[in-house]
Structure 1
Amino acid sequence: MNRRDMTHSFVNPSNVFGRGDDKEKIMDLLMQLDASRNVSVIPIVGIGGLGKTTLAKLSFDDKRVVSHFQLRMWVCVSEDFNVRRLIKDILKSAIYRIDENFDVDGLPNSLKELLKDKKILDYLNVDELQCRLRELLKDKKFLLVLDDVWNENPSKWNQLEELLIGGSNESKILVTTRNSSVATIMDTTTTYNLKGLPEEDCMSLLVKLAFKVGQENQYPNLLNIGREIVKKCKGVPLAVSTLAGLLYSKVDEHEWKSIRDNEIWNLEQKEGDILPALKLSYNQLPFHLKQCFAYCSVFPKDYNFNNLLLIQFWMAHGILQSPANESQELEDVGDLYIRELLSRSFFQDFQQNITLDYTFKMHDLVHDLALSIAKGECSVVTKKSTLVAEVCHLSLLENGQEVTTQLEKLSKVQTIIFITEQPASLLEACIARFKYLRLLDLSKSSFEVLPSSIGSLKHLRYLDLSDNHIIKQLPSSICKLHSLQTLVLGDCSNLERLPKGIRDIISLRFLVVTTKHTCLSDKAVGCLDSLRFLGIGDCKNLKCVFEGMEEGRLTNLRTLIVGGCPSLTTLSLSIKHLSALENLIIEDCEELSLTDKEENQDLKLSLRLLKFDNLPKLEVLPQWLQASANTLQHLEIADCCNFTALPEWLPHLNSLQTLRIKYCPVFSSLPAGMQDLTALREFQIEDCPKLSSKCREEVRHRIAHVPNIDFDEDFDEDIGSSSKRDDDISVYLQGEDDEEFNTSHNQ
């Protein structure tokens, strides 16, 4: 059990920079009256070293807090959430701070004895301790700070909470934690996510800690270097303090430049410095998450991770645990891992692209932590790198002979990511040398042809060729890659067709394709029975998908995304055979008609998400959607200029949680029975000018049970909407040439 140094409640405000606004926001939360509960919990969440404890101290000692609460208590919890110890520490803190706001005369004799002799606490059992605590807090307005909480066990929290709810209204519990899951189990109404410190405040902190008083004015060059050092700390005060401590009283420019140019994980670290502080979070992770986190160090700093591709990356290396039950897939396990790392502040800058697709980043200091852990296995290669022979996972950030020479020393490589353009000769050398390659990322490359020798990589599980605009054909030898699970060919705009033998890649689970061909062959792709995800995007000539597909094909397909196919007239997909399909997204297919020629009431679909976007020929929803009445949770229709109305059978979708209709200029009616959509939680109508205000009001009354209703009230029934629709197309399928797209797609 690792335990950080026990914290106390005092901080000198003159040593704190840039947290004035944060403090006032916390003060507002502390002073608010929550009528729904007598004791409210306010978590401050952020990565290690960000200043959560300091912010709590500033608020705890504020004069307004001292006068507002009858009793204030501060307890450092750390990793050991032992309820008996916590009760004892709360009582000790309370007894120490009983002051003029507290009516001592009204206390029972048992508590008066404690005030006279605090050592009595050491001899009380759990039952006696909890009695004293409840007596102390009864009907009192108190503030309790629980600093550095790691506990994720709800039952342990419930045991402590039961003893704290006897306080009066306006009592508050202020919690600092690195893990948003901790806040969740505490049933909080407001979580305060602490951001990084502004650069100028970080600079002020560096000057205070690195220079003697007045010394900084004598060394303007050092100040300029110091500003560059501050930038690498990315707003984390403890990182600034760590580096300032290394620089204290040093005036040699070379020493300052050495700190600036070194990765933090290469610098000497003492107990309490930034990397040891961050490593506490890492030590808390279960082993499988430690592995997955460490592997992320192979990507460069500021890399924009995509959830779907990172999961495939982990799968390629076999580091995802087997699913807990039959309804789960490995992809579900990977998604749980990402969300767990997000909740623990290892990932940040979460951005939802579409319902299935989101991006995130690692803080630079968290990346340094990952590098310090995985330095023997993972490396970002530059011209100045020094690689050890054991390295297995590489991303090539630069090119040139210096990089090629470094690779010649290696033999155990399993991962190669070409971050920058590399010559074909280097690719051929890598294929010849590294026979145990599992992952090869050649996205953004411009190889006209792939070496046929790629078929010799029998262990290859992940191949990314996306955004290659000149490749025309894939070598037939690629079909020998029987272990391949992930093949990404998105935005390969000159790829003439898929190889005929692609059906032999029997392990393929994730396929994204752009092709100039007019039809995807059922004999090829339709036989990929391991396929879970299929993305078809920016196929300008494509007219049909899987024409005449036989029953029993693609029975494991869970997600199908089709976008940017203006010539597509029919899916020809025999939708009834896709019994595992959960997510269907179709966008920007101007000629696509979804009208069913043959209705089949015996369909066994299990769709959960359906989105239609920019389908001019869509007038009504297809009848086959009724087969998903018990499973469909999210339905969105956007930018469909001829879509007129929702069907009368819509209220039969008894699992529907989200319903959005946007930018549909002739949409004019909603079905009766909307009140039967009892699971609905979000209902949005946006830029649908033909839907009358009378209809909106009638429906609003019928769906009063829905928590989130947006009817876009600022509309004009006589003038068509001119608002531009949200461009919500997945990065895998979009083929547009704008800078924003290229940035997200290339990452």
Structure 2
Amino acid sequence: MWNFINHWKLDSLSAAFFVAFPTLPLAAYPYLTVSTTFTRIKAVIQDAEVKAQNKQNHQIEDWLKKLQEAVYDAEDLLEDFSTQVLRKQLMSGNGVSREVRVFFSRSNQFVYGLQMGHRVEALRERLNDIEADSKRFNFEVHESERYSLTAVKDQTTSSEPEVIVGREGDKAVIKSFLLDSNYKDNVSVISIIGMGGLGKTTLAQHVFNDKQVESHFAVKHWFCVLGGLDARKILKGLVGRDDDQLESLKNELEKKFENKKYLLVLDDVWDGEDGSDGAKWDSLKELFPRDAVGSKIVVTTRSHVIAKFTSTVAPHVLEGLSIDKSWELFRRKAFPQGQDSDHVDEKIRKEIVERCCGVPLVIKAIARLISLKDRAQWLSFIDGEWDGRAWESICRDFRRLRVLVLSDWRIEEMPPLIEKLKHLKYLDLSNNKMEALPNSVTNLVNLLVLKLNGCRYLKELPRGLNKLINLRHLDVGCALNGDLCDSLEYMPRGIGKLTSLQTLSCFVVAKNRSPKSKMVGGLDELSRLNELRGSLEIRVKGYEKDSCISEFEGAKLKDKQYLQCLTITWRDIDMDSDIDLYDKMLQSLQPNSSLQELRVRGYGGMRLPSWLSSLSNLVRIRLDAYTRLEHIPPLDGIPSLEELLICSMKSLEYIDSEGVRGKEMSKFFPSLKKLVIRYCPSLKGWWKKSRGEMKDDSDESTVEELIMLSFPRLSSLTIEDCPNLTSLPLFPTLEEYLYLYKSSSMPLQQTMKMKPPIYSPSSSFMRPLSNLTLLYILSIDDMESLPEVGLQNLTSLQQLEIRDCSRLKSLPLHGQGMSSLQQLKIHGCPRLKSLSESKSQGMIPYLPSLQQLRIDGCSEELSRGWGKESSEVWPNIKHIPNIVID
């Protein structure tokens, strides 16, 4: 327990007070004696903890609780001071109003300082009383470093743990290890690993107190570590003596164990911060007695690192309880002995235990929390109903709360009394139903994180959001993650003062500025938020024609060097708006060159900004839902670009209007791996002049003619709903998949027909599409056949699906070339009559790896003659386990 005091320094209270109020007289510093009193108490705290556990002394336990309360109050006081320091620094650094300056004048510092001084004085008196009260217990004072934690429990003092549920199998595994004498090592170790609350300690206690285990070992010891592998502290705790000499402690431990077979439990071992756990464990285990064959050590830990280093056998991983066992445990805790639980139906049982995720600690806590009297109360828990009493209980009973997570509770209204949780640092209200937050939220000045993502009914944020001077992360969701606060109308004025903000997931530019113009923050609020990192979405719902350009330029996105992803969305805006204004707005939002991902959606301009091709670190670009854009500026020179998505552009005719001439193959999309082109009905080709240059009327285009038009590293390609797209840079390097839907087959035909250049040996030429694994050809109207030579090259293809290709007549599959094919599906190709390259092979060649064959909706010739009676076909397909021919 005393860790709460061991890691807390009251000296920092004094330092913070001096920084905050340097002009106060010394008489106002009653806290100067607090540190001394605190040090004297700390000297006896370890002995108090030991005596409280060994002697079951409730008076000492009460004394420790009083001390804990006082230390927590001291921590609260320190946070108040720190907040005041930061508030003062921020206010003095900004151009603030006269009223604020007066508040921080010397006279007001004096008043505030004296108020805090009274609080420190009260704290000092409490500590003095606690120190005086300690003398009646005759605690032993330890002047040197104290051994860390609790006293050792042996078989005479270990208390019997409560009945466990659902851990019978786990107990059997641990018992089997302990009772097995066939291990080579004199001392064998097993670790029990699992997240907090799963019951590692409870399981270990049950094994420790088992009668068979008790009779098997001559000596049993239990040590609660609650920390890292500090050999000196652990040995001090085991021996029960304060001695810094490891050799002396080792000798004392050997005397205690008397060369007898022993069982030692090291409970709740943490991993260290310095990465030296392995070396620490090696040192520690050398100090344990090793003479008695069959001795065992059990380690409980949350850390996989600790489990790896300590175990001599496979660690035992503790899992969550099953649904049935979770309910059994819940029933035991929720209903007193003899009380009937039949009124709780199966649906409610399942809902409640599923929410507990199989974690015993959570199950027991929830069972105690709700007084289960009737079905309505159970349903209110399931439905996440929150009323004033629930809030009042939280704010009253958890006033020192630092973290509050209330996501997915269907909360419709937040009460103003949330401000009572003044020490709150992390508040998660995501996926709830409230339309607004109370302004009192802005009094939570210690708040670091505010999560509101997925609150789809939220219309506005609190007006005084700028008062949250410690706020680092404000998450209102974003389209990228699909958890946007869709109803959010604007951002509050003053949000730009939160200069330490690191996360702002979305900034909404208001649709209408009046009558809320005084409350509405413009995009220039982003001006000084240069610590922003991660993702930012700018959602433009409206703009002021006369001032929007200066406002957008005022955002100074170019200064946001830590920003990785930028999404710019125009939404609910009249598409007949000034086209030039669109162009200027987007041009004014130039990001920093370090940006890695750019998404622009709903843009109504006719040209993209000049800065787009200069973002040399871009990895992903998505351009979506443009109404007027006819071409895109060259993007092939961006060296790091890996993904390009072009979607829903009804006016786009060419992707690059500059043409192919002058392009260098070495600089043509050198890193592009994924290309998606969707719903571009007017798109004709990649380059405006590419048809003549590509000679697409030729059946024998060579690499010399086409190599400059190839994607050098493209791995996946999707072309969907682009019926007029007939020319494209070739894509011979595809590996993952090719997906063609309602598009022309010409780019595929041209890629399949690529041949090596005359000057290049064929051995160095990679056959086109030879690494492709998945091929989908759907609703392609201009495809009558695929070239036989191209199909022979598909040596890595595992899945081929062809659907609704009404003109397809020939599909000459090649048995040897397509040796990796596992799935073949053909549907809705009424003119297709054969799948083989020659009549001698029958209807289909032998495809050795094929596991699934499905053919339906094709010609009558293709649908018949597949049975065992067919001497030509059956030998080629009898090895296929899954065949459907209709």
Q: Which has the higher contact order (CA 8 A, sep 6+)?
A: 1
Structure index of larger Rg: 2
